[in-house]
Amino acid sequence: MDLVNIKINDVPLQVPKGTTILNAAKKINVKIPTLCHLELECFGIVNKVSSCRVCMVEALGRPTLVPACSEEVYEGLEVKTDSLKAINARRMAVELLLSNHPKDCLVCPKNLDCELQALAQELGVREIHFQGQMMHYEKDTSSYSIVKDANKCVMCRRCETMCNEVQTCNILSAVNRGFDVFVGPAFNMPMAESSCTFCGQCVAVCPTAALTEMNYTRKVWRSLNDPKIHTVVQVAPAIRVAIGEEFGMEPGEVTTGQLAAALRKLGFDGVFDTDFAADLTIMEEASELVHRIQHNGTLPMLTSCCPAWVKFFEHQFPDMLDIPSTCKSPQIMFGTIAKTYYAEKKNLDPKNIQVISVMPCVAKKAEAARPELTKDEHNNVDTVITTRELAAMLKEAGIDFANLEPQSFDSMLGESTGAGVIFGATGGVIEAATRTAYEWITGETLENVDFHALRGMDGLREADVQIGDITLKIGIAHGLGNARRLLEDIRDGKSQYHAIEIMACPGGCIGGGGQPYHHGDMSIIEKRRQAIYKEDAGMARRKSHENKEILALYDEYLGKPYGEKAHELLHTHYTPKDKI
């Protein structure tokens, strides 16, 4: 490794050749402000546009300031990050951005979570010396998932990097030129008409409110305050290891019991865990996998829990629609059972039941509205809110979330196993399915349920799992760009698998577009991942087919897994979609 000698603020240090000034400064705890910079280590992706000019520093001997995020060090380089010249340049860059930015901070969805707002505070911007023409574009609210407000775009192009390089959806790019430029779909077409998967990774990295989720908290409040409505809520596994961050708790702190308590305080009539439906999904998905293996069915079988991934292959790989599992996602399975089995048990009219989902994902909002996922012309899931939206509701209600006494979820649809918990992390769905498939194929008890080969944060992974006489070949991908590479290899005959799990977001659902903002810090996602497996390890039951409430559901209502009634209620189909 070639090392070069440099000085930053008169402090000598050695760093590898090719290191940026920004990363070199971090080695001596010198903070240089940034806005457009984004570095995702798990994908090897860096946003390199250097467009915001907020990180300007003085390189002695150079006639102009240089951007620290993209300027590489060289032998003998001397840098001043705290000179008056550099500080004034940064302040001017932020003022220029603010001169063409709406001044509605008090009612902005990103208020107190906006990186531009934080920079203005940090750099002491107290007035804007540049007044000029403002952009005026209509908000795009065409989708169920994402709101695009071009007036708040600062052309950092982080969203473009996520959409094009990480997810390879290629939806977002620069629209218009000069003063009127912003990032959006080609020809500024509505998001709902594009090939957007609504994965929300653009929302997760946007520093302002140019991209946010559709907010449905008002709708939930109305349901909770309507005495004629029986309102039930389900909470996805990834929520419990992330929502605490919104209340000052450490990333990865498990808050399962506090969630149940908080939701009751909000006034929900039924408080349930989506982990129950994850166990139900495994009963169907493992059955489908075993059936395909034993009856020479289409292989590999792809998991279909992630709605962004489902929409991705409908647009990008319509010729391979026979490969994915036909199972509905846990969210939709829960809604289906709530409006059938649960309604019958509680003697309720399904029309008077409102199913609210708390999800880590903005794509779940669009999934709930898909016509093929309805029951008797009614949505299985009525409203979806994100982790951030639930946190906002709890704050509105003045609930001290961090100090709540833990409670359990309601019975009937609330019991879960460790297999349901690990759905929240990449590799978790296929590991849960393997735990059940192993016992069903071999007829033997699986003593060690931890399949460590299926875990990790590598974007593409593969493992062989021995199940009796069968060597189960498994592929795993998280991030849609990795999914694309995996599917192209399968299409070209380069890879042979029995089963594949794909999740759209970094780390799986724990890194979903509706989770508390991580601002590019992947260590936060890693802490959430570790917490998911810690929760699993502490569960009394860790295999989906051992869930007593699930067994009762089949015994009393569904019949056998992968049977006729299960197919009617819990399985679906996919439709080729245009690639726009």
pLDDT given at position 376: 65
**pLDDT confidence of residue 580:** 77
Asked if 206 and 82 sit in the same domain, the reply is: no
| Shared domain check, 222 and 203 | no
Helices (H), 100-194: 115-122, 158-161
Give yes or no for a contact between 432 and 446, defined as CB atoms under 8 angstroms apart: no
- The answer to whether 372 touches 336, Cβ cutoff 8 Å, is no
> What is the pTM assigned to this prediction?
0.95
Please report whether residue 91 resides in a domain. Answer: yes
State the catalytic residues. Answer: 285, 288, 305, 325, 364, 367, 372, 509
**pLDDT, one tens digit for every residue, the chain (580 residues):** 799 999 999 999 999 999 999 999 999 999 999 999 998 876 777 888 899 999 999 999 899 999 999 999 999 999 999 999 999 999 999 999 999 999 999 999 999 999 999 999 999 999 988 887 888 999 999 999 999 999 999 999 999 999 999 999 999 999 998 888 999 999 999 999 999 999 999 999 999 999 999 999 999 999 999 999 999 999 999 999 999 999 999 999 999 999 999 999 999 999 999 999 999 999 999 999 999 999 999 999 999 999 999 999 999 999 999 999 999 999 999 999 999 999 999 999 999 999 999 999 999 999 999 988 876 666 899 999 999 999 999 999 999 999 999 999 999 999 999 999 999 999 999 999 999 999 999 999 999 999 999 999 999 999 999 998 999 999 999 999 999 999 999 999 888 899 999 999 999 999 999 999 988 788 999 999 999 999 999 999 999 999 999 999 999 999 999 999 999 999 998 889 888 7
Indicate the residue among 176, 193, 214 that finishes a domain.
Answer: 214
Count of beta carbons in the 10 Å neighbourhood of residue 215: 16
Residue pair 53/96 in contact (Cβ under 8 Å)? The answer is no
Beta-carbon-side half-sphere exposure of residue 128 (alpha carbons within 13 Å): 16
Q: Please report whether residue 107 resides in a domain.
A: no
Dihedral of the CA atoms 378, 384, 390, 392 (nearest 10)? Answer: -110
Residue 211: CA atoms inside 13 Å, Cβ hemisphere, count? 31
Could you report the per-residue pLDDT of 236-279, keeping only the tens digit for each?
A: 999 999 999 999 999 999 999 999 999 999 999 999 999 999 99
Q: What is the DSSP letter of 516?
A: P
- Determine the residue type at 343: A
**Domain check: are 199 and 227 in the same one?**
no
Q: Are residues 43 and 93 in the same domain?
A: yes
Is-contact 46 38, C-beta < 8 A? yes
The angle, 0 to 180 degrees and rounded to 10, between the axes of the packed helices 217-224 and 387-396 is 50
User: At 56, is the secondary structure helix, strand, or coil?
Assistant: strand
CATH of the domain at 59: 3.10.20.740
| Distant-in-sequence, close-in-space partners of 496: CB < 8 Å, separation ≥ 6 | 300, 473
Establish if 559 belongs to a structural domain.
yes
Given 190, 214, 238, the domain boundary residue is 214
B/e letters for 6-34, b = 16+ CB within 10 Å, e = fewer, are: bebeeeeeebeeebbbbbbbeeeebebbb
Tell whether 355 and 226 lie within a shared domain: yes
- Start-to-end CA distance of the chain, whole Å, equals 45
The CATH number that applies at residue 199 is 3.30.70.20
Does any domain span residue 526? yes
Give pLDDT, residue 442: 93
Does 340 lie in the same domain as 304? Answer: yes
Taking the C-alpha atoms of residue 259 and residue 99, their distance in angstroms, rounded to an integer, is 42
Q: Are 364 and 307 in contact (CB under 8 A)?
A: yes
Query: Do 453 and 316 have their domain in common?
Result: yes
Chain-centre distance for alpha carbon 252: 15
pLDDT for res 377: 66
Q: Specify if 374 maps to a domain.
A: yes
pLDDT for 45 equals: 78
Residue 491 structure tokens:
């299409």
Q: Contact 202/172 with Cβ under 8 angstroms?
A: yes
Q: Is residue 578 part of a domain?
A: no
Q: Give Cβ neighbours of residue 41 (< 8 Å, ≥ 6 apart).
A: 522
Domain hosting 141: range is: 135-214
Q: What is the CA radius of gyration of the chain?
A: 25
Q: How far is CA 26 from CA 1, 32, 123, 192, 543, in A?
A: 19, 8, 19, 41, 44
Number of domains in the chain: 3
Residue located via tokens 């009762």: 552
Q: Give the pLDDT of residue 371.
A: 85
pLDDT in the model for residue 578: 85
Three-state SS annotation for 454-471? HCCCCCEEEEEEEECCEE
Whether residue 346 is found in the same domain as residue 316: yes
pLDDT of residue 375: 64
58 and 9 within one domain: yes
Whether residue 275 is found in the same domain as residue 185: no
Residue after which a domain boundary falls, among 45, 80, 97: 97
User: What span, in angstroms and rounded, lies between the C-alpha atoms of 197 and 143?
Assistant: 11
Q: Tell me, what's the pLDDT at 579? A: 81
160 located within any domain = yes
DSSP-assigned letter for residue 215: P
The DSSP bridge pattern shows strands 66-67 and 78-80 to be unpaired
Q: Indicate if 178 and 227 belong to the same structural domain.
A: no
- CATH number, domain with residue 555: 3.40.50.1780
Instruction: Say if 37 falls within a structural domain.
Output: yes
Q: For 535-542, which contacts have Cβ atoms below 8 Å and span 24 or more sequence positions?
A: 535/240, 535/241, 535/254, 535/256, 535/418, 535/421, 536/418, 536/419, 536/421, 536/422, 537/418, 537/450, 538/418, 539/416, 539/417, 539/418, 539/421, 541/417, 541/418, 542/417, 542/418, 542/419, 542/435, 542/449
Are 156 and 162 within 8 A, CB to CB?
no
Q: Tell whether 153 and 241 lie within a shared domain.
A: no
